[in-house]
A = this chain, B = another copy of it.
């Protein structure tokens, strides 16, 4: 079997060694004679797996003790509802400020607007989200309950290089496409959430890192399993947790630790992205989508000068084992998603192909 280099934006490729291990033990977890997906979430073996996952997250990311780790149902988008339900009541004004940097930031803002007084504190919509907008936290109303941003924008290929200092107003970050790919100063954040399906595992679950003091403020009409306190009080198991997602995340985190953790991963991710961005910048055949100062290291988006060649590019790439390079339907073009699990060799194979394709079609 030949594994392709899968540049899909998510659900995305996972480390091959992780996938092979999961395959080996798929019918027999820990010598139990049953799969990890067939055992009770209340078994001591699963409880140990969950606790080990907590430990790996803290060890790898340096998450401080005043944050709780929650594993919650649904993917990141369910958190678009959960965040306002849990945080708007931090201030009786029920205000929140959203920083609009793309499609998912916008969806999050729209959902929150159904429950509180939401403002757009900054947006880059006028340049079709090709950059991160300027934002001065001093402009925030002091009675703002929280500020929301999307740290990396998968569709437009931008990211926040530096995070704003919002002082006493909690900063909420959707890090679905970045969590565990870069080091973070947790002092700047109140809440971070991420669907797993980019850097951390399969789809269907989200991880939430929440400052403990932010728990316990949910609006009275918050559905029980959208209330983060429900999870915090029950080690994320008020009911049956997504056991497979926890297991896969655990294996991915073990792998990440073996790779040298976030310092090594951050360096590698920068090198991988630079390789492709250089190939774009050094050849007029290609045009980068994002402003150079705000380029994502997870999703490299670009266009061919001659967009009528897009299909040919994608078809020939696929023949070479370079899979799922098509840009999002909102923007078209080409997108190479290069999460943690994409090896340097995959990026090199893409760059080699880009150069050949440009030569043959330029």
A residues with CB within 8 A of B: 1-4, 6, 8-14, 16, 19-20, 22-23, 26-28, 32-35, 37-41, 43, 73-78, 80-82, 85, 111, 114-115, 195, 197, 202-205, 221, 223-226, 238-245, 248, 321, 323-324
Contacts and interface: CB of A to CB of B under 8 A. Distances in A.
Contact of A22 (B26, B224, B225): B26
B73 A221 contact: no
Which 4 residue pairs of A and B lie closest in terms of their CB atoms, listed nearest first? A204-B242, A81-B223, A73-B74, A4-B33
Given A27-B23, A41-B11, A240 B3 contact: no
B39 A243 contact: no
B19 A204 contact: no
Nearest to A81: B223
A204 B81 contact: no
Contacts of A28: 1, 3
Nearest to A238: B77
Contacts of A323: 32-34
Contact of A114 (B22, B221, B226): B221
Given A34-B6, A203-B41, A321-B33, A78 B73 contact: yes
A38 B23 contact: no
> Copies per complex?
2
A77 B239 contact: yes
B81 A225 contact: yes
A203 B11 contact: no
A197 B321 CA distance: 35
B10 A34 contact: no
Nearest to A84: B223
A134 to B, nearest CB: 30
Contacts of A76: 239
Contacts of A37: 11, 14, 202-203, 248
Nearest to A195: B240
A163 B243 CA distance: 32
